[in-house]
Amino acid sequence: MSSVATPDLVPLSRTRRKLAAFATLTVVAFAAGLPGWTVAALALTSLAIPLAVALAGGEALLRELLRPRVGDSGATPEPGTAGAPRWAGTAGGTTAGGGGRS
């Protein structure tokens, strides 16, 4: 069986932020004394995120989720800077010439 590259449908940095948010909410819900089913639902969601990443991208993608590269902030470049899409920062997502995304 050959390995097939999977497209990056959801940025890993966004998934990492969601994992951190659910883990934080789990701890806050437990500390606040919320009902057990609420804490369990949050905890199971926190566990399901890495499982889904592992099933979608394998061990390498899971490792990338849990141990990000140094300097990987997940921030997108500001419009008009190098690395930003040409259409970034314009009204309606189009270029000044009205050509849209190309």
Each residue's pLDDT tens digit in the chain (102 positions)? 444 555 567 788 889 999 999 999 999 999 999 999 999 999 999 999 999 988 988 888 888 888 877 765 555 555 555 555 555 555 555 555 555 554
Q: Cα–Cα distance between 12 and 24 in angstroms, integer?
A: 18
Q: Is residue 59 part of a domain?
A: yes
Q: CA torsion, points 22, 24, 25, 29, in degrees to nearest 10?
A: 140
Q: Cα–Cα distance between 102 and 94 in angstroms, integer?
A: 10
pLDDT value of position 71: 64
pLDDT value of position 28: 97
Q: Which domain holds residue 38?
A: 10-68
Q: pTM of the prediction?
A: 0.59
Q: Is residue 94 part of a domain?
A: no
Number of domains forming the structure of the chain: 1
Q: For the chain, where are the E strands, in sequence order?
A: none
pLDDT value of position 2: 42
Q: Is residue 1 part of a domain?
A: no
Q: Is residue 48 part of a domain?
A: yes
pLDDT value of position 67: 84
Could you tell me the two tokens for 46? 């926190």
Query: If you ran DSSP here, which 8-state letter would residue 73 be given?
Result: -
